[in-house]
């Protein structure tokens, strides 16, 4: 019996291999994009665990068995969902400024992950083998081409940015889940008495400086992300060949 990892790889290869071979026969009643969109809607409403072949079929107004003509199982369906979201995102045309263009890739990735809180666990660690994700990979690599980097350095730089954005967004989502619908002002007001007592104790001078002097705790989420992204890009720039 195949293990979980082997089954997932088999589903991944089959879903895109079948698409490459599907050139003859009657026109399908549904496109793969329609199936993926229906599954994405369910995941956004109820979470990824709620996505089943039966629910997706009901959303499309058909029987569950008919979906197996298009996707073999849920693993293949999740693969379609991951690739479809990447394809739905509007990626700016490259400007020729690598820092700006790589920053746009990071912003688009963050935007998609925040819009679909279940997505980080799907994109993380999954080989980019679907057509939309492969086109995204080609776009990202082309941004770094011509900077004097070898293919390994180009790939590792893209992986660094992708991994950093994924971790950053997971932290954002965890914070959002913890605080619920409380806004920044409500959070600050609730924590103020305790924070003041910590500062007055004199035992945590760096924490006191952070509260008194730092800008980040008082900035909005977009500004904090841009500040951190600038630091990542500056680090990459510092490693480029002269």
pLDDT in tens, 152-206: 999 999 999 999 999 999 999 998 889 888 887 888 889 999 999 999 999 999 9
Work out the percent of the chain whose per-residue pLDDT is above 70. 89
Residue 215 pLDDT > 60, yes or no? yes
The string of pLDDT tens digits covering residues 26-40 is 556 788 999 999 999
Q: Is 47 helix (H, G, I), strand (E, B) or coil?
A: coil
To the nearest 10°, report the CA torsion of 120, 125, 131, 136. 70
pLDDT of residue 26: 55
pLDDT of residue 15: 74
Residues 6+ apart with CB under 8 A from 102: 140, 143, 144, 161, 233, 236
Tokens for 214, please give them.
């730092």
Average pLDDT over residues 83-94: 92
To the nearest 10°, report the CA torsion of 144, 138, 128, 160. 10
Average pLDDT over residues 114-140: 89
Round to the nearest angstrom and report the end-to-end CA distance of the chain.
53
Average pLDDT over residues 117-122: 91
Tokens for 230, please give them.
């600038």
Contact 144, 103 (CB under 8 A): no
Instruction: Record the pTM.
Output: 0.86
pLDDT band of 20, cuts 50, 70, 90: very low
pLDDT of residue 12: 67
Contact 159, 109 (CB under 8 A): no
pLDDT band of 19, cuts 50, 70, 90: low
């Amino acid at each position: 019996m195949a293990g979980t990892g082997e089954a997932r790889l088999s589903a991944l290869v089959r879903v895109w291999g079948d698409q490459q071979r599907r050139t003859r026969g009657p026109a399908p009643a549904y496109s793969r994009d329609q199936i993926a969109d229906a599954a994405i809607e369910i995941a956004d409403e109820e979470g990824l665990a709620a996505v089943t072949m039966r629910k997706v079929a009901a959303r499309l107004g058909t029987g569950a068995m008919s979906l197996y003509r298009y996707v073999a199982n849920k693993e293949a369906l999740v693969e379609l969902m991951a690739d479809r979201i990447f394809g739905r995102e509007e990626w700016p045309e490259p400007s020729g400024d690598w820092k700006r263009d790589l920053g746009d890739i990071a912003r688009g990735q963050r935007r998609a992950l925040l819009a679909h809180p279940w997505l980080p666990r799907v994109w993380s660690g999954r080989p980019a083998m679907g057509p939309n994700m492969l086109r995204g990979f080609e776009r990202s690599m082309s941004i770094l081409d011509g900077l004097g980097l070898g293919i390994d350095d180009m790939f590792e730089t893209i992986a660094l940015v992708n991994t950093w954005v994924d971790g950053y967004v997971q932290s954002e989502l965890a914070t959002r889940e913890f605080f619920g619908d409380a806004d920044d002002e409500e959070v600050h007001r609730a924590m103020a008495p305790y924070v003041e007592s910590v500062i007055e104790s004199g035992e945590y001078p760096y924490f006191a400086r952070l509260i008194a002097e730092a800008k980040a705790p008082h900035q909005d989420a977009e500004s904090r992300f841009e500040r951190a992204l600038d630091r990542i890009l500056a680090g990459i720039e510092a490693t480029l060949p002269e």
